[in-house]
Amino acid sequence: MNSRTEHEKGRNNSPGVAGEGFLATLTSCRLCPRACGVNRLAGEKGFCRAGVRPRVALATLHHWEEPCLSGSRGSGAVFFSYCNLRCAFCQNYRISWQGRGREMEIEDLTALFLDLQAQGAHNINLVSATPYTPMLVPALREAKKRGLKIPVVYNCNAYESLESLRSLAGLVDIYLPDLKYIDDGPARRYSQAPNYFSVATAAILEMQRQVGILTFDAAGLARRGLLIRHLVLPGQAEAACRVLEWVKANLPRETYLSIMAQYVPVWQAQRYPEINRRLTAAEYESVLEYFDALGLENGFCQELDAATTDYIPNF
């Protein structure tokens, strides 16, 4: 891999400032590919269990993203509660599965983004915000009107609808999708995500269309573009190599990838013996070597000691 860089890895239900299109979206929710169709305004809960207001578990200067995102002062990470996947090995299960966090109004989100910028964040990093896309649009627009200048990062699992992504065009500067699976079996078994690869790759192509190749400022910080993550799972090195093949065949050679070794068998991973262990050095190195063999140009990698719970935020 050329230029390897290591990284660690009873209230009124009207949701604040929103227009008719926003309300219609929540009345029959189809924000993600599951298209549950539930009426979130009436209190109904779909697969992700998100409500009518954005729910935030933590907002912090996060220092364990890729170096081009964390920089010297940290990425302004906003961790949203709930998720449209059910990853058995999720390191953030306390918020994605259990929903820890507090509800906020749209104007509170705007203030939060501006506060992170004032603290010195290099960017606003929206982590697992998929269930709250309609709330993000007005919050980001208002924040930009009020002086938000740093890049906005959309940090997601790639199980996205094209309609939701298109609503973010012009508001998101950097897309950071985690392309998790290429085979439907593991996607269903470990994340309850049917048709994951076809959905995720269509989403990534839309992200590429919107923001293009990752670009940097003079200090090496990301300013705009696409950065694809892939977490190599135990026993899945060959599948990871096929993910790289898809990237080479469908995206520009200069596309940036982050090949992660930080898998830890937490949460419900013990239910699946084949992934109830850490990645081996041989497995991970085989994927990095294939990256080079394919002639891909730009990427980030990790040391195996990144596979620890030490870098998981305290929710």
Max Cα-Cα span within the chain: 58
Instruction: Give 61's strand partners.
Output: 76
- Residues 107 and 144: their CA atoms lie apart, in Å, by 13
Inter-residue contact 189 to 156 (CB < 8 Å): no
Domain annotation for the chain: domains and CATH numbers:
53-311 (3.20.20.70)
If one counts every other C-beta atom within 10 angstroms of the C-beta of residue 295, the result is 9
- The whole model's pTM is what? 0.93
The alpha-helical segments, DSSP class H, found in 55-171 are 67-70, 93-96, 106-118, 133-145, 162-167
pLDDT value of position 54: 97
What are 11's two structure tokens? Answer: 């209230």
Give residue 38's pLDDT band: very low, low, confident or very high (50, 70, 90): very high
Residue 220 has pLDDT above 60, yes or no: yes
Percentage of the chain modeled with pLDDT above 70: 92
Q: Is 198:162 a contact under the CB 8 Å cutoff?
A: no
Angle between helices 133-145 and 106-118 (to 10 degrees): 50
pLDDT value at residue 16: 46
Tell me which residue of 211, 206, 106, 205 sits closest to 152, measured CA to CA.
211
* Mean pLDDT value of segment 264-287: 97
The H-or-E segment that residue 100 falls in is: none
pLDDT in tens, 138-177: 999 999 999 999 999 999 999 999 999 999 999 999 999 9
Residue 90 marked in a binding site: yes
83 is in an annotated binding site: yes
Decide: 13 and 44 in contact? Cβ < 8 Å.
no
Contact, 269 vs 282, CB < 8 A? Answer: no
Q: What is the pLDDT of residue 186?
A: 99
Name 53's Cβ contacts closer than 8 Å, sequence gap at least 6. 15, 16, 103, 104, 105, 135
